[in-house]
Structure 1
Amino acid sequence: MTDTSPIVRLRDIRLERGGRAILRDINLDVPRGQVVAVLGPSGSGKSTLLSALTGQLVPAAGTVEVLGRAVPRGERELLALRRGIGVLLQGNGLLTDLTAAENVGLPLRTHTELPEPVIRRLVLMKLHAVGLQAAADAYPRELSGGMARRVALARALALDPPLMIYDEPLTGLDPIASGVVMDLVRRLNDTLGLTSIVVTHHVHETLPVADQAIVIANGGIVFAGTPAELEASDDPFVRQFLKGEPDGPIAFDAAPRTPEAA
């Protein structure tokens, strides 16, 4: 029987950094099988929201449920939950002294007891999925920015997580590489039966592959709906963000920001 419950459910969430509220009254359901874009200007709290989903930040109020269960506090339970979440970091996080294949195989060697021939085969399958099987023996320094991002994506997929989280996946990429990465996000989401949350301020590159869009600004969610509804919205918060206007209801740098409130 198909599970129709949300893969992520947030209820009345309040998130704080250093005693200051970053996000308030956050209520959000992420349906299974969709690509959901979480958009917002720099400093709006998008990365803070991710920290709550992965258990790095405990909410000051409210409940966070991921993969059908409340995010646990215990270290062992939290590690078990995180194995079901693939995270693509904006800095890639590849180990420079390991080849592409060794980087992708690292989660498999760390978290499973699979025999080495099986791991090697799985690694090649993951690299093939992102179009980089031929680069298996290359080191990160030998890869372009877009190729390194795709290796990091293959590594995030190594343990076959049902939920993928992308933290600013297009940072530092040229338009062609950005298009390749976003096309991969959509294609892998559909072919592997994933759910994907894409946290980004790259609106125009992300909306074409998204099923739902969330806009965060001024400490809360100011829009939730389809990309078409977002484009058609006349809400002043949304219009200011989409047009990149400096003046409007979104208060840029109105208060000091903590480095984590990205």
Structure 2
Amino acid sequence: MTAADAIDIAVRLTDVRLDRGAHTVLSGIDLEVPRGSITAVLGPSGSGKSTLLAALTGELAPAAGTVEVLGQRVPHRQRDLLELRKGIGVLLQGNGLLTDLTAAENIALPLRTHTDLPRAVVDRLVAMKLHAVGLRTAGTLYPRELSGGMARRVALARALALDPPLMVYDEPLTGLDPIASGVIMSLIARLNATLHLTSIIVTHHVHETLPVCDRAIVIANGRIVFSGTPAELEATDDPLVLQFLRGEPDGPIAFDTAVRSEAA
């Protein structure tokens, strides 16, 4: 790998195996995510998408192979890992907003925890993040006063609080109606372009996600079964990938709830 390669690649996994206890969830995983791109990680429920996310953030150490994020191998030491995580914004599936804090206070939390910025500067940054997600006047609202789409955008603003170069979205469309889903996907694309981010979207919502992506991978049966552009994915004749895209219950992807619960 040359120095130029390291600069151009935000995430690299090489021959990675990921285990949960005695169960191997994913194996033989090779993946490169170019800087500035939007990559969709697709697959059925229980296929290992969340396990892959855990490896990117250092929550789960690989049983074999290497995971590199933002030019460095994901560290084991807690202090080094915390430093790396400052560069990774994560939008959680359930938003993770603190119910006793307002929207503005939720967004300010990472800034107050990880920086020594004066209150006036923090307040200004929070206002900028709220404006970036189209919620400039919602700062005084509590999570219970927000719609599902609004709460997701507040969570997104909080994930962006420390200006991370890498954003990871964990099922960003869960629980949202079609209009709110469209708003979120459009927002992800716009923020990626204007803030020069690299984004990884972990999801099973194929048709809503592909239009904003540069590349897509599909995980099934413990491995990557497709890697390419959205156009290449839509043109595939691979029966395993087609089963997932069409939502067919019968095919090479076994419907086995016991196995899937272990892989989740």
TM-score surpassing 0.5? yes
Shift of 1:258: 3.8
Q: Relative to 1, partners in 2 of residues 1:256 and 1:67: Cα closer, same or farther, differing over 3 Å?
A: same
Preserved CA contact (<8 Å) 2:243 2:251: yes
- In structure 2, distance between residues paired with 1:175 and 1:158: 27
Matches within 5 A, 1:20-169: 20-169=23-172
Preserved CA contact (<8 Å) 1:39 1:203: yes
1:181 maps to: 184
Could you list the per-position Cα deviations for residues 90-133 of structure 1 after superposition, in whole angstroms to 9, with x for gaps in the alignment?
00000000000000000000000000000000000000000001
| Structure 1: stretches of 5+ with no match in the other structure | none
Identical residues among aligned pairs (%): 75
Shift of 1:256: 2.8
Amino acid at match of 2:167: M
Return structure 1 stretches of 4+ with deviation > 3 angstroms: 1-4
Shift of 1:255: 4.7
1:232 to 231, 235, 249: 235
Amino acid at match of 2:91: L
- In structure 1, distance between residues paired with 2:260 and 2:254: 12
1:247 and 2:250 correspond = yes
Amino acid at match of 1:98: L
Preserved CA contact (<8 Å) 2:7 2:71: no
Amino acid at match of 2:97: L
Preserved CA contact (<8 Å) 1:40 1:201: yes
Preserved CA contact (<8 Å) 1:46 1:199: yes
- In structure 2, distance between residues paired with 1:100 and 1:212: 33
Amino acid at match of 1:193: H
Aligned length: 261
1:221 maps to: 224
1:170 maps to: 173
Q: Secondary structure at the match of 1:135?
A: coil
- More deviation, 112-121/1-10: 1-10
- In structure 1, distance between residues paired with 2:154 and 2:10: 25
Preserved CA contact (<8 Å) 1:5 1:68: no
Q: Secondary structure at the match of 1:239?
A: helix
| Structure 2: stretches of 5+ with no match in the other structure | none
Could you list the per-position Cα deviations for residues 68-107 of structure 1 after superposition, in whole angstroms to 9, with x for gaps in the alignment?
0000000000000000000000000000000000000000
Shift of 1:254: 6.7
Q: TM-score, normalised by structure 1?
A: 0.97
